[in-house]
Amino acid sequence: MATITTVDRGPRVVARSVTVNAPADELFALVNDPRKHGLVDGSGTVRDNVKGPSALSKGAKFTTKMRMYGVPYRITSTVTDHVDTAERKVVEWQHPAGHRWRWEFTPITADTTEVTESFDPRPSKIGKVFEKIGVADQNAAGITETLSGLAAKYERPA
């Protein structure tokens, strides 16, 4: 079973990390394709992506079907950061209200990667609302489930 670690990314940012037994390139390709986000989402909110490129890049937009509190909706996000080097891979997108989701992939070995997912409500127009309704706790639980599931998918037999 994978160990999920809390990561300090500053006040109000929810961030968790896990070591995954897979190459950084493979994991990055999975998250960098918005059509595959539903395959890794542990929160239960992400549905099918309905529009967007198969590989994200800075400035790219993608639209996703979502469901929260039983209410279906669609959201279009914009990629705000994108790094793809041998040492580090990052993809971050911003919700129209301003909050950001970020994935970071740092190779440990050729076949092992530290994966960090974070939710940053600080730039959001509705950040105070998030605080009042407990979104940070919900997102922490969702990130933990997402990273646990990702690590489990690549778990090696003992």
Q: Is 31 helix (H, G, I), strand (E, B) or coil?
A: helix
Total of domains in the chain: 1
Q: What is the mean pLDDT of residues 13-18?
A: 97
Q: What is the pLDDT of residue 42?
A: 73
Report the CATH number at residue 123.
Answer: 3.30.530.20
User: Is residue 17 in a domain?
Assistant: yes
C-alpha span between 56 and 81 (Å, rounded): 10
| Strands of the 89-94 sheet, one edge to the other | 5-6, 14-20, 112-120, 100-109, 89-94, 71-84, 61-68, 46-51
pLDDT for 78: 97
Q: Which domain holds residue 45?
A: 5-153
pLDDT in tens, 31-84: 999 988 878 887 767 777 678 899 999 999 998 878 777 778 788 999 999 999
DSSP 68-135: ETTEEEEEEEEEEEEEE-SS-EEEEEE-TTS-EEEEEEEEEETTEEEEEEEEE-TT-TTHHHHHHHTH
pLDDT at 16 over 90: yes
- Domain-embedded: residue 158: no
pTM, two decimal places: 0.91
Q: Are 118 and 101 in contact (CB under 8 A)?
A: yes
